[in-house]
Amino acid sequence: MDKVSGSGFESKNEYMFGKMDMQLKLIPGNSAGTVTAFYLSSKGPASDEIDFEFLGNLSGDPYILNTNVLSQGKGDREQQFFLWFDPTADFHTYSILWNRQRILFSVDGTPIREVENMESREVPFPKNRPMRVYSTLWNADDWATMGGLIKTNWSNAPFTASCRNFNADMACVWPSNLTSASSCSFISTAGDQWMIEELHTSDQENLKWVQKNYMVYDYCTDLKRFPQGLPLECNIA
């Protein structure tokens, strides 16, 4: 990214359900104001999305990993984390598991967030539209670093983040010449382990460890943001 343009790429195919990994090495040094993202998104308005967003920082200050899930354009479900390593020093693996029951965000194989399907309690969940894979780098200095206080220092441009070893094991690879969502809805749940994958006890322990020690923001505790009451899913569980 430089002052003229951000950068990014998207997959040719759309996918539905599965497991995907990307290795990322983030912008070293002063990355304040920048956002590097790896995410799934459906096309068109009111999108479904599953997002990893890395919010840059001043040299030596920690990145924040922002996660979010949108269903039909409705998001506002951020959880944010510090990482337990320097994400600019080396490549690390960021993974999304997506099946009908849950979405799982993992870092180097350690689960950091689980979003369960609570449609039975009227909480929307993305499972009806295929999504493309994206990775992008853009300027967001109006909000990304210390809530927008620290701006992008363009004398450091161009900013470079790297990705490698994208790996996807998906239930349905959406043929680009089809337009209706129906063929992806006949996916068998029996064949593939990850369609029914859930957290094992050791993973649950790791998830708790990350949430306790590295989570810096949870929308479910942000009473100021939701004066009318926390979102429904925050009061279940």
Positions in the binding site for ligand NAG (CB under 6 A): 55, 57, 61-62, 64, 145-146
Specify whether 49 is catalytic.
yes
Shortest distance, position 119 Cβ to ligand NAG, whole Å: 32
Residue type, 25: K
The CB density around residue 188, as the number of other CB atoms within 10 Å, is: 8
In terms of CB distance, is 44 or 147 closer to ligand NAG?
A: 147
> Is residue 112 within 8 Å of 67, Cβ to Cβ?
yes
In terms of CB distance, is 6 or 62 closer to ligand NAG?
A: 62
Residue 132 to residue 134: CA distance in whole angstroms: 6
Q: Is 161 helix (H, G, I), strand (E, B) or coil?
A: coil
Closest-CA residue to 4 (of 163, 143, 154): 154
Specify whether 119 is catalytic.
no
Q: Which of 10, 14, 49, 197 is catalytic?
A: 49
Shortest distance, position 139 Cβ to ligand NAG, whole Å: 14
Residue nearest to ligand NAG (CB): 61
Q: Which of 10, 14, 53, 116 is catalytic?
A: 53
> Is residue 32 within 8 Å of 152, Cβ to Cβ?
yes
In terms of CB distance, is 35 or 195 closer to ligand NAG?
A: 35
For 71, which DSSP code? B
Residue 99's Cβ-side half-sphere holds a number of Cα atoms within 13 Å equal to: 18
In terms of CB distance, is 9 or 82 closer to ligand NAG?
A: 82
Shortest distance, position 130 Cβ to ligand NAG, whole Å: 31
Shortest distance, position 145 Cβ to ligand NAG, whole Å: 4
> Is residue 25 within 8 Å of 38, Cβ to Cβ?
no
Catalytic residue positions?
Answer: 49, 53
